[in-house]
Amino acid sequence: MSSPATEGAAATALRSVLTRAQQAAERCGRSPEQVRVVAVSKTKPVSLIRQVYDVGHRCFGENYVQEIVEKAPQLPSDIEWHFIGNLQSNKVKSLLAGVPNLDMVESVDDEKIANHLDRMVANLGRKPLKVLVQVNTSGEESKFGVDPSYCVQLVKHVKLGCPNLIFAGLMTIGMLDYSSTPENFETLSNCRTEVCKELGIPEEQCELSMGMSADFEQAIEMGSTNVRIGSTIFGAREYLKKEKSQ
């Protein structure tokens, strides 16, 4: 494992994020172990992911199927991959077959994609797959996610109609600029309360994936168990630089 003196910028940034996440958890009387940091590595090279892996981090997230299926085989098999982008039905097989160590899909937002995942897990003989139901908490049409009013119904479908999926909790992205407001976090928390009441699930068994680079500390203080941190760890996304140069 690298020492802080020799590690690269991404590894140093990860240490800072983990410290900030721990402090946010402690401020609201929670154990730091109750918060998972997903290092979101979209557009970033395998070498940079490896740098973060080498200081002990194991949970990484990707937004695009093509990227994750290219990167995963080049990296150690004990990585816990989270798929956090919009998933199209025709990419489900590629994702599940190409990433044996896929730990979770965070972006299930309708029954169709849940059914596709359920069938493909069975067809490939994989162990049951953890999933989060994505909720559109901002009301913006451009955002994927189920309407909060339909959240309970979709969760019921996953739990009762998809035996090869494990319902693990709820996820939201927030506003158009990928920031969130306390209202977005509160909406997701309210959805969890309703889901747990309807299905008889203890709230501590229903994760809340909310909060990114700009707002993860606030999200943790409002109950997040899973924060998705990209640019704060890995630097600005490469495609943003390309867009600026056009």
- Contact (Cβ atoms closer than 8 angstroms) between residue 179 and residue 214: yes
Reply yes or no on domain 9-229 having CATH 3.30.70.1230.
no
- Contact (Cβ atoms closer than 8 angstroms) between residue 169 and residue 209: yes
pLDDT in tens, 17-56: 999 999 999 999 999 999 999 999 999 999 999 999 999 9
Res. 246 pLDDT band, cuts 50 70 90: very low
Which sign does the torsion angle of CA 205, 225, 67, 102 carry? negative
Residue 120: phi and psi, rounded to 5, are -70, -35
Give the type of residue at 233: I
Res. 160 pLDDT band, cuts 50 70 90: very high
Over the chain, what HEC string results?
CCCCCCCCHHHHHHHHHHHHHHHHHHHCCCCHHHCEEEEECCCCCHHHHHHHHCCCCCEEEECCHHHHHHHHHHCCCCCEEEECCCCCHHHHHHHHHHCCCEEEEEEECCHHHHHHHHHHHHHHCCCCEEEEEEECCCCCCCCCCECHHHHHHHHHHHHHHCCCEEEEEEECCCCCCCCCCHHHHHHHHHHHHHHHHHHCCCHHHCEEECCCCCCHHHHHHCCCCEEEECHHHHCCCHHHHHHHHC
State the Cα–Cα distance between residues 57 and 220, nearest whole angstrom.
Answer: 19
Residue 8: phi and psi, rounded to 5, are -80, 180
Per-residue pLDDT for 245 more than 50? no
pLDDT attached to residue 175: 61
**What residue segments make up the domains of the chain, in order of their start?**
9-229
Per-residue pLDDT for 178 more than 80? no
pLDDT in tens, 87-117: 999 999 999 999 999 999 999 999 999 999 9
State the Cα–Cα distance between residues 205 and 81, nearest whole angstrom.
Answer: 20
The set of residues, in sequence order, having a beta carbon less than 8 Å from that of 197 and lying 6+ positions away, is none
pLDDT attached to residue 9: 94
Give the type of residue at 174: G
Written as six digits, the tokens of 196 are 């747990």
Q: What is the mean pLDDT of residues 146-156?
A: 97
Using alpha carbons, select from 222, 144, 131 the residue that is nearest to residue 178: 144
Per-residue pLDDT for 197 more than 50? yes
Over 158-211, what HEC string results?
HHHHCCCEEEEEEECCCCCCCCCCHHHHHHHHHHHHHHHHHHCCCHHHCEEECC
134 beta partners: 171
Whole-prediction pTM value? 0.92
